[in-house]
Amino acid sequence: MRGSSSPTGTAMTDGESSQSLIAAMDVLFAPRTIAVAGASTNKVTYGNIFIRRLRKFGFEGNVYPLHPTAETIEGVRSYRSFADMPEPIDYAYVAVPPKKVPDLLEDARGRLRFAHVISSGFGEVEEGQDLETRLVDTARQTGIRLLGPNCLGIHTPRGRVTFADPDRLSGLKGSVGIISQSGSLATDVLRRGTLRGVRFSGIVSVGNSADIGPNELLEFMLSDPATETIGIYLEDVKDGRRFFDILRAANARKPVILLVGGRTQPGQQAAASHTGALAQDDRVWLALARQTGAILTETLEEFIESLLIFQMCRPRADQPTREVTLFGNGGGISVIATDYFSRQGLNIGSFNDAL
């Protein structure tokens, strides 16, 4: 595996890098300073929309648009470089042409902690693989941690940052954390989950996972006091052994719900064109769920309903039980539920005479 760099550019071991990243991720979910690269004065771009959403969602920190010539963007003073900004930046939203991204990170050396690259055209396509390698090398050399590329980024009620339309969200803080390799699916989970009553501690779209990926985010959410249930959408895992070990350790701490794309041959082909994912045998995912205790779901609806159940019930992993008490509003539905629970190996108890 590749190592990564400290903020001073000196080499770190994988273990040291992972530990320092987990410790620093509170800033990613609650940034106080945000730079936006890619906003325009004469048209509406992703950068412009992001600034507008920060306002609507109630972000209370400082926003610094980055532009080579503009004085103001969206009514906010603009800056020509990171060096011109009056304070270091926690989080940068980068929506510029892909070939410009490495130079932008170089400009941010010593001034930026996390860069979220929404731009596509990197490792998910053959002609962009060398560019992604250069991007990662630049991030390592500058000490900047990278989210993406080819991703929507974060939705964090605690930090008041979102990739979705705030008018369609509740904005309430919750206990469900989501990690997704698909931006559109992350948006679906956010919108549909909100309608069902799911409340989120944070949602992260990771895209190509060139630097920060599902493993690091899973470790963070396991240690995050605000997150009690974790949902993950995956198309592949770059370090499968580490993912397995983290999931197995998670079983005694917090429930993890999995939704996996590319479990059939046509699905694998679609995943390869989506994020450059490598094919995975479906039997691998079934075995992983069985051996780690993670819950493998089949559909988006089942995924969201599972998140909702764990949000409401909050089972304790340290007190496992197969005993179930069933409440129903009629005989037929109670009989069907009893059959279902029994097939899952659960015991439906009887009330004693005192009740």
In a domain, 156, yes or no: no
- Position 9 scores a pLDDT of 34
Structural domain of 40: 4-150
256 in the same domain as 170? yes
Last residue of a domain, one of 150, 177, 211: 150
- Position 316 scores a pLDDT of 64
Last residue of a domain, one of 150, 175, 199: 150
246 in the same domain as 117? no
CATH number for position 265: 3.40.50.261
304 in the same domain as 226? yes
The total number of structural domains in the chain stands at: 3
- Position 270 scores a pLDDT of 57
143 in the same domain as 27? yes
Measured in whole angstroms, the distance separating CA 345 from the mean position of its chain's CA atoms is 33
In a domain, 190, yes or no: yes
291 in the same domain as 170? yes
- Position 265 scores a pLDDT of 62
213 in the same domain as 235? yes
- Position 231 scores a pLDDT of 98
In a domain, 158, yes or no: no
SS3 343: helix
pLDDT in 10s for each residue of the chain, 355 residues: 333 333 333 333 354 456 777 888 999 999 999 999 999 999 999 999 999 999 999 999 999 999 999 999 999 999 999 999 999 999 999 999 999 999 999 999 999 999 999 999 999 999 999 999 999 999 999 999 999 999 999 999 999 999 999 988 878 899 999 999 999 999 999 999 999 999 999 999 999 999 999 999 999 999 999 999 999 999 888 888 999 999 998 887 899 999 998 666 665 555 555 454 444 678 888 999 999 999 999 999 999 999 999 999 876 656 677 888 888 788 898 899 899 889 988 888 877 766 6
Last residue of a domain, one of 95, 125, 150: 150
- Position 18 scores a pLDDT of 65
177 in the same domain as 113? no
> How is residue 320 written in tokens?
């496992």
DSSP string of 193-249, one letter each residue: HHHHT--EEEEEE-TT-SSB-HHHHHHHHHH-TT-SEEEEEES--SSHHHHHHHHHH
- Position 165 scores a pLDDT of 94
Give the orientation angle of helix 240-250 with respect to helix 282-292, to 10 degrees.
30
8 in the same domain as 144? yes
